Structure 1
Amino acid sequence: MCATSCDIVDFDSNGDNASFERKQFLHRNGSIENVRMDAEKILEVLGQDSPELDFRLALDGLRVRPSAFLVREVLYWMLKGINCENKGRCAKLAYKFFLWCGQQEGYWHTANSYHLVLQIFAACDEFQAMWRLVDEMIEKGFPATARTFHILICTCGEAGFARKLVMKFIKSKSFNYRPFRHSYNAILHCLLVLNEYRLIEWVYRQMLLDGLSFDVLTYNIVYVTC
């Protein structure tokens, strides 16, 4: 499979694993099978890709109401099905579905849905589309988080853009949505997980240039890896 080295992980808007809560909610409401059936109908429509097919009309015709769980289900299965032969098509179809959902009354995308589309773009080598989606995500009020950064760095890092990406992320508006040191620590932690030791040293120097002293978490990441 020609996919990114990022693991396929399901996170909600708080950055926590959403699988358990999703199952609990669906079981309580007796709707898990309904969601799966609706997801299968949508995937079947998306699988009928052809120039003659109007996806908006076809999806409207299903009379399915998007929910965070349904969108997650469809995007997750699309992500799992990406391979070297279909990646261009999958990126296009996933984004069409994503746009259609965002136009439906009563539904609003979550940070998790944005992250799943980012992972699909990553697996399909759609790097420019990834950046555009991150900008859109921020404009819609979802600050880029450590999870967002992890998806970007483990993809673009492989393409040789790691340092450029880190600099762009540091300069981005979303980087300042929480205390500055916390944002640096989130980046340092992601780089540690990815064994990007040279970049850890470089990011730490940028942190000092911004006038920030290290805390315990910074120390544990920087000095333990030196």
Structure 2
Amino acid sequence: MQQAEQRKRRGRPRRDEVVALDRAQIVAEALRLIDERGLEAFSLRELARALGVFPTALYWHMPGGRNAVLGAVAATAFSDVVPSPDDATGDWENWIRALFARYREALRRHPNIAPLLGAQIVSNTGVDMQLVECILAALEAAGFGGERLRDAFNTVVAGMLGYVTLELAPGPAEDASEWARAFEAEIRGVDAGRFPRLARNLDLLANRAFIVRWQGGAEKPMTHSFDFYVETIIAGLRALSGKSG
């Protein structure tokens, strides 16, 4: 009888565990663990162990489980990304520049959550709707409406996520140093007869351009190309907006 009662209680959190925890504490510890160990190694079991509680205590505060925690982690990591809403309806170009820069800065502080963004749509549960509202305001100020507003919105969001997620993509989890040495040797040993342009521009591109690099953006930032990328998106929006010309 006593064992059955213990088994029954094992599935529910103790009252002291529930009272001792709060949502902010859970999310902060989850973000710390992801920063430290990476997204693939993150689990609710490890999170509960780090907090000194049973996993059921986490579900009491966050019924959605792992997906709810990951959405909250994304919201916390990007809580200060949105520039001043008032600027969105004024100088829309500088507002978008600021948005891209702040997003990149936030993700550089927490590069291990990069795989969560875009690749796992559960991160949408952590989206600040103020971000959506302000992007729409900036694009309306630029002259977009109707279907073109939707297309421009998708362009801005994809652009915001795309470059930085690719820039901060991690290397292989195993034998990272050996892989980097082997790939660098392969790139630097390129056949100039078969690939003359790559060979001619090798010093310019090697480890400083996508596809031909062996270090991620956390170690080797690609800031100059990022600025060029942002200006390209803004120039395209300007050219396609209802106010162009």
Per the normalisation by structure 2, the TM-score is: 0.31
Per the normalisation by structure 1, the TM-score is: 0.33
Radius of gyration: which is bigger?
Answer: 2
